[in-house]
Amino acid sequence: MKNPPLILWSILFASQFFYAAALESVVKPGDTPLQTLSFAESPVLIALAVMAAGTLAIAWMIPRIIWNQASKKLPAVEKLSESDLFEGFFTGFVVRLALLESVCLYGFVAGFLQRQPSIILPFLGASAAGFVLNFPNRTFIRKALGQDLQGL
C-alpha cells in the first residue's frame, strides 16, 4: 500500500517553498512609490503575525483532540490492522497540515501587502519546522494515537 500521509506531507511541504518563490518572482521591493512599513508600524502585519501564531498553536491542539477521540475507537492491539491505524490518524494529520500550511499563507499575504518578499521567511520557517516535526513515520503515528503499537 502506498503511504498517503507521506505523499500529502511531501506535496504540502514543497508547496510552501513555491509560495516563497512566487512571491519573490512577482513582488519586487520598491515597485511602487508607497512607503513600506516595518512590522511594528503596520497593524495589518501585526494582526497577520498574531493570527499565524494562534494558528500554529491550534495546529497542535485540534489534532491532539481528534487523535484522542480516534484512539478510544481503535480495536484492541491484537486485532489492530494498519488500515485501522491510518484511519484513526489521517483526519487529525490532514487538519494539522492544513493549519501549518495556513501559517505560511499568512506570510504570503503579508509579503504582498508589504511589498517585501522576505517577510514570508519567518512564517515559512515556523511552518516548515512544524512540518518537519510532523513527518509521518510509524513512530509518529503510534505516538499521535497514544497506543503501544510496536508490532505494527
Could you read off the pLDDT of 13-28 as tens digits, one per residue? 999 999 999 999 988 7
User: Where would I find the beta strands (DSSP E) of 3-121?
Assistant: none
Looking at residue 50, its pLDDT comes to 94
**For residue 110, what is its C-alpha cell?**
503579508
Looking at residue 31, its pLDDT comes to 52
- Confidence class of residue 87 from pLDDT cuts 50, 70 and 90? confident
Rounded Cα distance between 120 and 124, Å, is 6
Contact 77, 148 (CB under 8 A): yes
Instruction: Give the gyration radius of the chain's Cα atoms.
Output: 19
For 92-131, the pLDDT digits (tens) are 899 999 999 999 999 999 988 888 888 999 999 999 999 9
Contact 119, 110 (CB under 8 A): yes
**Least confident stretch, 43-47, 58-62, 81-85:** 81-85
**For residue 83, what is its C-alpha cell?**
488500515
Greatest mean pLDDT among 65-74, 124-133, 134-143: 124-133
Instruction: Please tell me which residue, 147 or 57, carries the higher pLDDT value.
Output: 57
Question: To 10 degrees, what angle do helices 43-73 and 138-145 make?
Answer: 80
